[in-house]
Chain A
Amino acid sequence: MITAPTIEYFQLAPLLVLLGAAVVGVLVEAFAPRYLRRAIHVPLTLLSLVGAFALVILQTIRGVPTSPSAMGAVAVDGPTLFIWGTILVLSFVSVLLINDEEQFVPSAAAVPGSAEEEKAITEGNAHTEVYPLALFAIAGMLLFPASNDLLIMFVALEVMSLPLYLLCGLARRRRLLSQEASVKYFLLGAFSSAFFLYGTALLYGYAGSVDLHAISQALAVANGTDTLLYIGMAMLGVGLLFKIGAAPFQAWKPDVYQGAPTPITALMASGTLVAAFGALLRVFWVALGNLDWNWTPIMWGVAALTMVVGSILAITQTDIKRMLAYSSIAHAGFLLIGVMAVGDAGQNALALSGLLFYLLTYGITTVGAFAIVTLVRDPGGEAWHLSRWAGLGKRSPKLAGLFAFFLLAFAGIPLTSGFFGKYAVFRSAVALGEAWLTGLVVLAVVASAAAAFFYVRVIVLMFFSDPSADGPTVVTPSWATSAVVGFSAFATVALGVFPQPVLDLAEKAAKTLFVQ
């Protein structure tokens, strides 16, 4: 006798709205005439995102659920709602960036430089599939941190990743690089998800269930020393750490960020990172909540390695996007500090709220930075090489000023949101009062100082060097891009000066912690 599973549709509504819109998008691709598609996709995508966001708000207002929904498969709890809100905001602005045909290949199937491609360009073709693909990916991002069992998490991982693999290969310029990024991301992503899945299998073998809560309970009764558990957790960890780009699993990040179309990079650098951190937190805090020994030393090593690798390798980068990718790796390292800052419930809430705030501020600044990257162009596309940015402060002081501001936010200079983000996480780590974690914070600030070097280097180039005669042109931004840049700049300032309202939200979201 099988009872039909109960599904709390309202709780899952944001997810469903996005998936529904994505499906509609696919249908539009199939049935709408080519010239209409974009006109339908853009509002559809944006509206669905707004709708989902509204639903998230509504849920927050109506009260945060205290138990997992969908038979324990999905946990829509405080942190989830905050993460959802964050992802939806970041996705919304990223989609505004995606709304720029110049970025995407007119015909992905055409060989670069071939007659077909030329024809596609002259006909004004465009891959409007980008929108539904993005929606699928965003839906995956929402589900990933919300999944309360490992199977759902795996599915969410794939739902999130598969469209992104494709999207990475759709850059209009430098298509070879774009395709290479796509294939690399795909192969490595698939490889790492195989690890994730094998880890899931082993944990299933250990606990008899893939439910996070069940695993945690299994740990509560058994002593957590079992080969299956060890290897399973390691494998699972590989899958999750891969997604956030922690060393030594960071290798894909620079390549993919560099090759992918910049709006997609923005989406990945902001949304995916947030989602992956949500998932990582849930696995380590919920599933391993009852582990009777400390897994933090391992995370310590990973975090230290990640921030050092990110900061140091970024120093000698010459491609602006690649540099930002390494910066993202370094930031992942800083964020990992918060993951380790676990203690009693109050401490956990502190750490969680810090992480949530950091993720939000970092995401917004990142999207803003990539938005500006899309605007600085050479005849052959974006002016990717840093030397091309020389003297930009002279040619286009406002744009360069904003970019400098974003960079300073990355560096964590006070009066930018990045400062409070870092502060919130470091504070939770120091609050634990453990020397080893405080030591890691010290390492983190030293790495930040090294990281500041490459942010500052770009500022030096933009402002202190003289522009070359044939410097890049700064295109007049579309309303959408302007809006993105404006929003990001505003948020970066506002959260750097008056972070309290958002901190309140993050604290409220974190207070309940993850549902068990």
Chain B
Amino acid sequence: MLELPWLSFLIGLSVVGAIVVAFLKNDKVAKQTTLGVSLLILVLTVVMAVQFSPNGDRFQFAETYDWIPSFGVHYAVAVDGIALVLILLSAILVPIVVLASWHDAEQGKRSVRTYFALLLVLEAMMIGVFAATDVFLFYVFFEAMLIPMYFMIGSYGGAQRSYAAVKFLLYSLFGGLLMLVAVIALYNVADKNSFLFPDLIGAVTDPTTQKWLFLGFFIAFAIKAPLWPVHTWLPDAAAQAPAGAAVLLVGVLDKVGTYGMLRFCLELFPDAAKWATPVVIALSVIGIVYGAIVAIGQTDIKRLVAYTSISHFGFITMGVFAMTTTATSGATLYMVNHGFSTGVLFLVAGFLIYRRGSQFIADYGGVQKVAPLLAGAFLIAGLSGLSLPGLSTFVSEFMVLLGTYQRYAVPAIIGTTGVILAAIYILWMYQRTMNGPTAESVAEMKDLNGRERWVVAPLIALIVVLGFFPKPLLDVINPAVKESLVNVKVTDPAPVVAVKEGQ
């Protein structure tokens, strides 16, 4: 393995790229530079990922430097399998979003290069937040990444953008600040003079303290994820954000919440996590069903997609807290797959909305006739949203439910009804927008152009390939998840019949 500071280099590259882009005079050059930088980051990330040895040390590409010794804070980055796939997700999505947003920023008569600079800043923070192995550093990225997203929603979003942006920011900030207290308390209780994640595992033993600290972390992550009932910021934010920002918001930023649950809530506070599991599972199940039902009733395409995500996040949290290898690996895989799936769904919806200038389902009808490729892409995206087997989302959803059932049968069964509801919300939306007689307002609609095809094609290819061959990702995820679960001190329930044989 090459001993290079890969992660710092990736973060630094995006920051430098952002600064360069911000000071470019020409918008077109700014866009091209952004695309170039993000592609370069993608290539480097892939090169790095290839060198990752799944069965080697848990954390690889580690770098640790003192940052603020007074606070015990380090600049410490490293990745395990879970973080790696999420970084990969971010690195793949950013260039696609850049390409997809090519003209988005121009609509609002606002600075185009700022938008792209913000994208790169966000990328730096996304990589940083997943790579951080210092709890404090994680927190810093966790909070700081709100700001670029806030500006992207607020400056470049839809009609209600400032309401949505403020709601997003305040909601997240509220959770984040509660977490700050827990972060501080964690440091004091652990009494290791260090925020390094490995140092803190198992450091908190007192059950009551664990519970409080768990809550502090969990509320922040639950808001971020978002888990029912603290989800209402997401539909607003996602519906108002420009499509590209919505992709990163729902596809990556929200994953920080579920990632945080897995990494921090479970490993740092195992007993409290087990204590809280019934409630979390219950909330997740409610989220799955509730999100789906509300999605059915939406009249706005982007809001609908946002609510489907709430349902999907229910699956992820359920999988994380089911704490079986299958479910938790499935949940991790779900984070990645959902990023691609919702990504393409938002982007295609964005293309659609860009053409017609309306987010309302009622304004469409019969698009398939005039724009078959667009409709086809929308359908595939939708099908991945309803976890059609053969597409990547199925693998993860199946694993989550399968693994959850091993320990929590009833929630898994209730969660499985989400499968039915998903079919309703996706297909009904598809029917209303794409099928039927062609509405007059869309009669002139153009089909996907070359750029848009380049946006959609890689994502769809990924969704299909990972749908049949998820092994590369699972091979990376599984060891990390297993190690996490070892730290949580849980073991998978053995099959009933096998137990009988053993006796």
Contact = CB atoms under 8 A, between A and B. Distances in A.
Consider the complex of A and B and state whether they touch directly, i.e. have CB atoms less than 8 Å apart.
yes
A9 interface: no
A449 B154 contact: no
B48 interface: no
B184 A414 contact: no
B144 A414 contact: yes
A449 B147 contact: no
Contacts of A465: 162
Contacts of B155: 393, 463-464
A431 B187 CA distance: 9
Contact of A430 (B71, B177, B184): B184
Interface string B135-175: 00001110110110011001100000110011001100110
A413 B147 contact: yes
Contacts of B188: 427, 430-431, 433
A453 interface: yes
B223 to A, nearest CB: 11
A504 interface: yes
A344 to B, nearest CB: 14
A460 B147 CA distance: 12
Contact of A500 (B69, B174, B181): B69
Interface string B162-203: 100110011001100110110011011000000000000000
A500 B74 CA distance: 12
A189 interface: no
A30 interface: no
A192 interface: no
A385 interface: no
Interface in A455-469: 456-457, 459-460, 463-465
A442 B70 CA distance: 23
A449 B174 contact: yes
Interface in A415-443: 415, 419-420, 423-424, 426-427, 430-431, 433, 438, 441-442
A387 to B, nearest CB: 14
A430 B185 contact: yes
B154 A464 contact: yes
A463 B181 contact: no
B140 A414 contact: yes
A413 B69 contact: no
Interface residues of B, number: 35
A214 B346 CA distance: 71
B68 interface: yes
Contact of B111 (A397, A426, A438, A499): A397
Given A397-B111, A430-B185, A449-B177, A503 B166 contact: no
A126 interface: no
A427 B71 contact: yes
A500 B144 CA distance: 19
A427 B71 CA distance: 9
A79 to B, nearest CB: 17
Of B150, B161, B165, B181, the most chain A CB neighbours within 10 A belong to B181
B143 A500 contact: no
B181 A442 contact: yes
Contacts of B180: 423, 426, 445
A20 to B, nearest CB: 37
Count class of interface residues, chain A: 35 or more
Contacts of A52: none
Interface in A394-427: 394, 397, 408, 411-415, 419-420, 423-424, 426-427
B428 interface: no
Contact of B67 (A397, A411, A445, A500): A500
B170 A426 contact: no
A415 B161 CA distance: 25
Contacts of A507: 70
Contacts of A216: none
A445 B144 contact: no
Nearest to A439: B181
A423 B71 contact: yes
Contacts of A459: 154
A449 B173 contact: yes
A448 B176 CA distance: 11
Contact of A438 (B68, B169, B185): B185
A9 to B, nearest CB: 35
A397 B117 CA distance: 14
A441 B68 contact: no
B181 A456 contact: no
B154 A463 contact: yes
A291 B169 CA distance: 44
Interface centre among A412, A463, A504 (most CB of B within 10 A): A463
A448 B166 CA distance: 15
B378 to A, nearest CB: 30
Contact of A460 (B70, B146, B166, B178): B166
A460 B111 CA distance: 16
Interface in A197-218: none
A236 to B, nearest CB: 32
A446 interface: yes
Contacts of B150: 456
A103 B177 CA distance: 38
Contacts of A240: none
Given A449-B177, A503-B68, A503-B70, 11 more contacts: A397-B114, A414-B139, A414-B141, A419-B140, A419-B143, A438-B185, A445-B177, A445-B180, A453-B170, A465-B162, A500-B67
Interface of A: 393-394, 397, 408, 411-415, 419-420, 423-424, 426-427, 430-431, 433, 438, 441-442, 445-446, 448-449, 452-453, 456-457, 459-460, 463-465, 499-500, 503-504, 507
16 contacts: A414-B141, A415-B140, A426-B181, A427-B71, A431-B184, A431-B188, A438-B181, A445-B178, A445-B180, A448-B177, A449-B177, A456-B150, A464-B155, A464-B165, A499-B70, A504-B70
Interface of B: 67-71, 110-111, 114, 139-141, 143-144, 146-147, 150-151, 154-155, 161-162, 165-166, 169-170, 173-174, 177-178, 180-181, 184-185, 187-188
* Shortest beta-carbon contacts, A-B, top 9: A445-B177, A414-B140, A449-B174, A464-B162, A464-B154, A503-B70, A430-B184, A414-B143, A460-B162
